[in-house]
A and B are shown apart, each in its own frame.
Chain A
């Protein structure tokens, strides 16, 4: 029995102990000083690698992943809407419109386009003060996370008032927004004070506020 043949069995010997079924290998390790020492060393290293406790995911990972997927999802939707259009047909249509406009000069094209161009102007929506409040016994940190702050987990933290009531007042532009409360960085909760709720597209529910 050569030493180089023995070393490939160290793993099984470490793992199976007395149940290891190669007496010739066991005998070699016992009588060969070098292989005996190597076997002891290897068992020490293997124990160090195998006996490590598993890790939990960081609390922010879930939120980060779902926000990124949501963004991807929205992007993919826009792409899919355009994909079915045959590019040559689009190109041909554009060329036809350009040729019509330049060479035939039909005035009604310009007439029909002008209202569309002028309709893009508009004033920025005004801000209104929105009040958010939730009763939570035993919570240590409550964040308000939603469309209005880009689903930032740390931007808007609620302050604790009496009897475990958490509150925040925020100036938000008029519009319709989805949001949730994030409790202690791990637990998502809908707002029990507002009845309007919608599915978030990933199996969960978001609260909706309309300002």
Chain B
């Protein structure tokens, strides 16, 4: 057994990394309700796979990988047209009131920008710019070569520059 988290202490993991996992899911899905469901599923998967956790790899990285794959599954399962319409409309379903909603509002601008991208491009952009992962880490998480990740980043940047470049200068 190579894991160092006992099932009895898993509640501490959920408390410590709940915000981190939720943020990744929100960045990819752009919808608070879906993000909460994806975060819940992420932790359940993590609990079931505690035996696969390798301490050398780091808990944050391990959870990030599970969160990424779970959110991508959610994206594929959900109605993409409806998700895009929500993001591009007057406002996504943001809970009202408090600091929580104001932070979501601030992040929603960035997420709206990424919503025009294909899920692969969106994933690498979220990990590289918003979660500050390296190309090597992203390649390991997505099971792609580093060159593929670099190409996806390049194409995603190009699309964003063409669409939003004039509005951000």
Contacts and interface: CB of A to CB of B under 8 A. Distances in A.
Contacts, number: 121
A62 B8 CA distance: 15
Interface in A1-27: 7-8, 10-11
Contacts of A204: 11
A40 interface: yes
Interface centre among A41, A47, A50 (most CB of B within 10 A): A41
Interface residues of A, number: 37
B129 A41 contact: no
B140 interface: no
B85 interface: no
B22 A61 contact: yes
Given A45-B160, A69-B47, A202 B11 contact: yes
A207 to B, nearest CB: 17
A127 B129 CA distance: 57
Contact of B106 (A40, A53, A64): A53
A47 to B, nearest CB: 8
Contacts of B32: 58
B148 interface: no
Interface of A: 7-8, 10-11, 37-38, 40-42, 44-50, 52-58, 60-62, 64-66, 68-69, 72-73, 201-204
Interface of B: 7-12, 14-15, 18-23, 26, 32, 36, 39-40, 43-44, 47-48, 95, 99-100, 103-104, 106-107, 109-110, 113-114, 125, 129-130, 132, 150, 154, 157, 160-161, 164-166, 168-169
